[in-house]
Amino acid sequence: MKLKIIKIGGNVINNKEALSSFLSDFSKIKGHKILVHGGGKRASEMIRDLGMKPKMINGRRVTDEATLEIVTMVYAGLLNKNITAELQKNNCNAIGLSGADANTILAHKRIVKDIDYGFAGDVDQVNPEAIKILIENGITPVFCAITHDKKGQLLNTNADTIAAELAKGMSADFDVEMIYCFEKPGVLADVDDDATLIENIDFVMLSFLKKENIISEGMLPKIDNCFNALQHGVKKVIIGKPELISDKNIKYTTLIL
């Protein structure tokens, strides 16, 4: 059985029309599917509105107690339920989830090495059985970027990581294709020039791109997650604009082992 896991993020989440168009296209995808959404920019806006300053290191958010409360409200509440409601409007029977729901994604608080990321979660385990029950009964899971440690602690986990770990966890039962969608056409040699799309990236190319500092800071965790997923049973990983899920003529980046 085939399963598509699609992660939507970047500026698309903040653009009501773009998000609505994507969710309409997502609803039309036949077969089993899972949606994972980010929302970091919306969370950062909320953090600033409340008089605090967002802190990011190497493309990852530093999450103190106050920030955890805000990102939980934004990710698992505002964004997750609005997305789920929009999918229902498009006749896609969706259910909004965090990692704590049905114990679907178990994580631990990131161990402090050089940097203390606070209540950031690193995934330990995905519960594929609970997710499988949902999708085999025609219900589309919509995951936000919140996990838990099964000790009552919620954790902020990178949405790209959530998508990759779900893809790995489901690959034993499904042929999984993972798609990362955001406002750019894929991985760019020049982040300000869409014409510099890199259509195929393997390990050799990845090493070169890293060595030459060509990949932007925010793209590095995404690509690392992609290759990790491919090494653990995921059949295909692509990165590009949301339109690629409905338009076969759209170019994008494919990751290759």
According to the 3-state scheme, what is the secondary structure of the chain?
CEEEEEEECHHHCCCHHHHHHHHHHHHCCCCEEEEEECCHHHHHHHHHHCCCCCCEECCEECECHHHHHHHHHHHHHHHHHHHHHHHHHCCCCEEEECCCHHHCEEEEECCCCCCCCECEEEEEEECHHHHHHHHHCCCEEEECCEEECCCCCEEECCHHHHHHHHHHHHCCCCEEEEEEECCCCCCECCCCCHHHECCEECHHHHHHHHHCCCCCCCHHHHHHHHHHHHCCCCCEEEEECHHHHCCCCCCCEEECC
| pLDDT value at 257 more than 90 | no
CA distance 131 to 129: 5
Positive or negative: CA dihedral 119, 124, 129, 135:
positive
CA distance 43 to 72: 9
Task: Write out pLDDT tens, residues 150-195.
Answer: 999 999 999 999 999 999 999 999 999 999 999 999 999 998 999 9
CA distance 141 to 94: 6
Output the pLDDT for position 222: 83
- The answer to whether 19 and 241 have CB atoms below 8 angstroms apart is no
Structure tokens at 134: 């949902």
| pLDDT value at 141 more than 90 | yes
Higher pLDDT, 231 or 10: 231
Percent of the chain with pLDDT over 70: 100
Span between the terminal Cα atoms of the chain, in Å: 22
| pLDDT value at 100 more than 80 | yes
Structure tokens at 176: 């999984």
Cβ neighbours around 4 below 10 Å, total: 21
CA distance 119 to 189: 33
| pLDDT value at 58 more than 80 | no
Structure tokens at 76: 């698992």
Task: Write out pLDDT tens, residues 195-243.
Answer: 999 999 998 999 999 888 888 777 887 898 899 999 999 999 999 999 9
pTM beyond 0.85: the answer is yes
| pLDDT value at 59 more than 80 | no
Task: Write out pLDDT tens, residues 16-27.
Answer: 999 999 999 999
| pLDDT value at 101 more than 90 | yes
| pLDDT value at 248 more than 90 | no
State in words which class domain 2-255 has: alpha beta
Q: What is the mean pLDDT of the chain?
A: 94
Distance of CA 92 to the CA centre of its chain: 19
